[in-house]
A and B are shown apart, each in its own frame.
Chain A
Amino acid sequence: MSSARAVEIEHLRVIRGGVEVLPDLSLHIETETVTGLLGPSGCGKTTLIRAIVGVQIVAGGNVTVLGKPAGSPALRRRIGYVTQAPSVYADLTVMQNLRYFAAVLRAPSRQIDQVLNAVALNDFADQLVGRLSGGQRARVSLATALLGEPELLVLDEPTVGLDPVLRHDLWEMFHALASQGSTLLVSSHVMDEAARCDQLLLMRNGRLIASTTPDELRRSTGAEDLEEAFLRLVKAPA
């Protein structure tokens, strides 16, 4: 595993709506890994993700992504971002959505079939996104982020509402992408997904409480079950 860092954050401070969501956050994410970002809802996962993608106005600190300050124009081709709510056009078909975003990303059109395959939506290519189920819509949004073969994929709760088989397949794909040289940051509030990650970032109340691996987490907390391990960590005095 390479030791290069895809994301390096020093003393990040973010204030949203008068509330200090991230008071002082420092962490790093190694390249070619699948890193899980876990924590209770409202702990600042999405804000951190927004800061990495470069859409969040920050109050202080440094966020370096793929060697450049977050939000640099040069990064716009190199990062794939999936928001929690699927951000695709409901009044277009799956194919029309992908064609448009492929044009914006200057991605070759053969990639459209590849990403459709990856999220198992080939049979729905000509369906209107607005008529798809929530899980299918989330997959259209994910497929869009895969276009352009980004070096860093940032996925905010991509597996919510997906059935176990599909979730399994997606995690396989995440690891396949990492082994091909991509870096993935996947947020989740479901601890059973933590076991599938190479690295774990655990957050609570806007602070990083652990940067670890699933094995280390089990060892340090003495809990076999990751959910239990996480609960012990969260309940421990900060």
Chain B
Amino acid sequence: MSPALVLATARRVLLQLRHDPRTVAMLLVVPCVLLVLLRYVFDGVPQTFDRVGTPVLGIFPFVVMFVVTSVATLRERSTGTLERLLTMPVAKLDLLGGYALAFGLIAVVQSVLAASLCLGLLGLDVQGPEWWLPVVAVLDGLLGMALGLFVSAFATTEFQAVQFMPAFVLPQFLLCGLFVPRNQMADVLHWLSDVLPLTYAVEAMTRITSGHLGGVFARDVAIIGAASVLALALGAATLRRRTP
């Protein structure tokens, strides 16, 4: 792995995004608009916004990075640039690292914007240290990116890649404990939610709201990190230099 190539790849991905300002604007603005929407949906019950707002702050970067990465990687596969790169002296980790760095930076900007909006204008009430909000949100974004990279290997068209969002993300969304506490779900679903990474992303965000940042919080953050690394490793395994 070469830091120079990671940087070159990250720069290239960001330059590609710069030629697509509409996508950048949507990446940054849409989560903020949705949070404003959420705030006024719960206008009469501000304590519900306090409970739901933080997890949603973590779910947005996860979902957005998942979609953007899976489409970007699929494009790289289908236009032949990936095959060309893999005939060149570049390590798979250089490419993955470059993608992670570029989209990670986007996730940082997106998370800081969304968290500042919630804490400032929208009056989100958080007991724990507020700076943890963007930190965990960025981790969630990286997790979404790693998963998106992995599943893009199973899509052969952009239609399929986009459909992976409802297929992979919505079940996690339903089971993560945001709608119903996990211990009230059917046992099978509870066990299932135990192995889905978004569960821990939401739990970590909830702990910041309540201010209980003990060992469970540390464990949650570690699980998010480990799941990201695992998904990246699986994603790396799907980048083949030789194909049928």
Contact = CB atoms under 8 A, between A and B. Distances in A.
Interface in A82-123: 83, 85-92, 96, 100-101, 103-106
A7 to B, nearest CB: 15
A119 B79 CA distance: 21
Interface stretch (B38-46, B84-92, B184-192, B197-205): B84-92
A56 B16 contact: no
B8 A77 contact: no
B227 to A, nearest CB: 29
Interface residues of B, number: 25
B88 A54 contact: no
Nearest to A58: B242
Interface in B4-44: 4-5, 8-9, 11-12, 15-16, 19-20
B80 A91 contact: no
Contact of B88 (A56, A57, A105): A105
Contacts of B88: 76-77, 101, 104-105
A17 interface: yes
A73 interface: yes
A91 B20 contact: yes
A104 B87 contact: no
Nearest to A130: B19
Contact of B243 (A55, A76, A85, A88): A55
Interface residues of A, number: 31
Interface of A: 16-17, 53-57, 71, 73, 76-77, 79, 81, 83, 85-92, 96, 100-101, 103-106, 128, 144
Interface of B: 4-5, 8-9, 11-12, 15-16, 19-20, 79-81, 83-90, 241-244
A77 B89 CA distance: 6
B244 to A, nearest CB: 5
Contacts of B20: 91
A83 B16 contact: no
Given A54-B242, A55-B83, A55-B242, A106 B19 contact: no
A29 B79 CA distance: 29
A79 B8 contact: no
Nearest to A56: B242
A105 B4 CA distance: 11
18 contacts: A54-B241, A54-B242, A55-B243, A56-B243, A73-B89, A76-B87, A77-B88, A85-B80, A87-B80, A89-B12, A89-B81, A91-B20, A92-B16, A100-B12, A103-B5, A104-B89, A104-B90, A144-B84
A16 B244 contact: yes
B17 to A, nearest CB: 8
Contacts of A92: 12, 15-16, 19
Contact of B89 (A56, A83, A106): A106
B89 A103 contact: no
A121 B145 CA distance: 36
B80 A83 contact: yes
B5 A87 contact: no
Contacts of A55: 83, 86-87, 241-243
Nearest to B79: A87
Contacts of A90: 79
Contacts of B244: 16-17, 57
A57 to B, nearest CB: 5
A147 to B, nearest CB: 9
Contact of A128 (B4, B9, B19, B87): B19
B180 to A, nearest CB: 42
A83 B241 contact: no
A76 B88 CA distance: 5
Given A76-B87, A87-B83, A96 B242 contact: no
Contacts of B15: 92, 96
B238 to A, nearest CB: 15
B31 to A, nearest CB: 23
Contacts of B81: 87-89
